[in-house]
Amino acid sequence: MFDLDCSVLARFIVSCLTVQALLHHGARGLQTRKQPPGIEIFTSTQSVTSGQKVLTIEGRECKFPFRLGGTLYHQCITVSYGIQWCSLTNNFDRDMKWGYCSSRTTRFNTAFYVVSTQSLCNPNPCKNGGVCSSIPYRRLFECVCPDAFTGAKCELKKCYEPLHLRYYNIGEVWGRIHLRNVEQCMCSKDGASCERTRYTACLTNPCENEGTCRIIETTREAVCACRPGYRGPYCNISPDEKCYKDSGVHYRGTVNTTLSGTPCLPWNSDLMYNELSIDTVYDASQRGIGDHAFCRNPDNDKKPWCYTMNNGVISWEYCDVPSCPRVFTSRKAPITSSLPTPLPSRKSTCGKRHPKRVPQGRILGGTSAMAGSHPWMAALYIGDEFCAGSLISSCWIVSAAHCFLRNPLLSAVRVVLGQHVFNDSSSNTQTYGIEKYIFYDHYNQFSPTVHDIALVKLKKVNGHCAHKTKFIRPICLPEESMTFPDYTCCTITGWGHMQEKGDSYSSLTEGIVRLIPDESCSSPEVYGSEVREGMLCAGSNTCVDACQGDSGGPLACERNEASFLYGIISWGDGCGRTGKPGVYTKVTKYVKWINHVTRRKKKSQKKGL
């Protein structure tokens, strides 16, 4: 990235699953699910790969795509010493089942296997409106099927159950109450067949909205008879609901696309792990979450939303559901006024996340971040180079000084806020030029790791800097006296390379690291005297680290549900090397200078974030 050696500067997150880590995780057993795993349920449409099976050295089949760190992979992943491995289920984050990839492969559906990558999807081999997507590096294609179809080429028709408002795959069995008869149904290639079956009364009633419950004796499945106007296995779907009231917490309609037109992931998708789903949300059914892909608001957001797939990464968006018009009555409330009502005190909104995920302690490695979970992240495009930074107020970014080592022209710097995928603008992003960048008074470009901090002032657009949204808001600055105990878990984030000699960037990635005692980091076997005052170390023995491309990004530590900018990604020895933690600029040593610079003309500035 810069002329300086990688071992000196510019570090980023890397999730390097070592062979030892894989062996440790491989002993974990599979979890059972109400719905069999398979990529046909990873979106509201079905995706089926046709071409070759990839086997492990034990002869077991690799499952593609599989989830690792919130990202989908369509091929074996290379770890140290060139060894390749794959997941044996579609969700490695959850199941931790894996194997070493064999060089042998087994062809299946050979009629669809095409050597020429240019002709993989031309003509389209997918039937019934299926969309073909080629995977050139494995020389095969993928059919994304409409909800009603399945099969390698979307050639098989699923069975639609109107009482549940969903399609069942071939071979699936379900129960229902139809015309007061309790029935057991099965889907086959010839369609659905239902037969009356024996039942008993329910001890507890899971059916909502005054639905009637029965238990099928053979399967012990609870089935519901819903009142008019309600559908779904538990009577918690209202097809006639065309808009949402207030924030949409009680919305139970059937919209399943986002504002951008992207289809929603089912809330029980087999690719979910630490997202809000039927497995992680308490009282999921009461919050509207179920075996469907309809938009909901289980976390009391501002409107209904859903999870989506964005460039192979699990993300989320607000849904294309209109707000119900407000109903005003003609009656006027009596005026009882004496003293004016005092304005509510303004609470600080710095450091507040918008995570859309449930904390899971098991993943300590780098993982794909959810949109809005680090809204203070700033992407700095400096000519042909790239750095990260942290938004601390509407007009100011904190970054690393060595990002500006070449003294770039102001016109060559572009700052993007709200960015999730590298160099990808969306409706959630805001882009600015810069007015100036400022080094610390004692910064010396011949010793770029010392006092490695810079302030960047955004150039206003129409008289304003950053506008606060769910995806853009500042991180909190610590007080000079603030400290976090040694071994505290903090978070690093960025878009940088995923390996030491990488040459590509990624979607926003996050990782957990622990603060390392100063005496350990400055010991001769680690960094010795290279660690100076104003620096701190953090790392993890799960191979999470920073690498090229994420210099200037935050080391964020949390207190009282607010994130504080405790460190700035600065330098280290390589990326993710054993015994070589990341070194960060310690922000508490510079917070007095930060406040002095950013508040010089505060009285004359307009209010921002």
Contact 267, 284 (CB under 8 A): yes
- Report phi then psi at 592, rounded to 5: -65, -40
Question: Residue 329 has what pLDDT?
Answer: 55
User: Predicted confidence band at 315 (pLDDT cuts at 50, 70, 90)?
Assistant: confident
* Rounded Cα gap, residues 531 and 513, in angstroms: 18
pLDDT tens-digit series, residues 277-287: 888 888 888 89
Higher-pLDDT residue of 26, 453: 453
The conformation of residue 117, written as its DSSP 8-state character, comes to G
Question: Residue 26 has what pLDDT?
Answer: 37
Q: From 23, 345, 292, select the one nearest 164 (Cα to Cα).
A: 292
Q: Which residue of the set 551, 563, 570, 573 is catalytic?
A: 551
402 catalytic, yes or no?
yes
Q: From 483, 490, 606, 542, select the one nearest 17 (Cα to Cα).
A: 542
Higher-pLDDT residue of 516, 70: 516
Q: What is the mean pLDDT of residues 402-425?
A: 90
Q: Which residue of the set 164, 292, 374, 402 is catalytic?
A: 402
Question: Residue 121 has what pLDDT?
Answer: 85
Q: Which residue of the set 93, 279, 452, 550 is catalytic?
A: 452
pLDDT tens-digit series, residues 532-568: 999 999 987 654 545 555 789 999 999 988 999 999 9
pLDDT tens-digit series, residues 247-269: 999 999 999 999 989 999 999 88
Amino acid (one-letter) located at 352: K
Residue identified by tokens 């979970």 is: 373
What separation in angstroms does the CA of 605 have from each of 346, 415, 465, 602? 18, 20, 11, 5
Query: What's the mean pLDDT when you consider all of the chain?
Result: 80
Question: Residue 221 has what pLDDT?
Answer: 95
The conformation of residue 408, written as its DSSP 8-state character, comes to -
* Rounded Cα gap, residues 108 and 257, in angstroms: 34
User: Predicted confidence band at 459 (pLDDT cuts at 50, 70, 90)?
Assistant: very high
By CB atoms closer than 10 A (0-12, 13-18, 19+), residue 165 is middle
Question: Residue 506 has what pLDDT?
Answer: 66
pLDDT tens-digit series, residues 324-335: 998 765 555 444
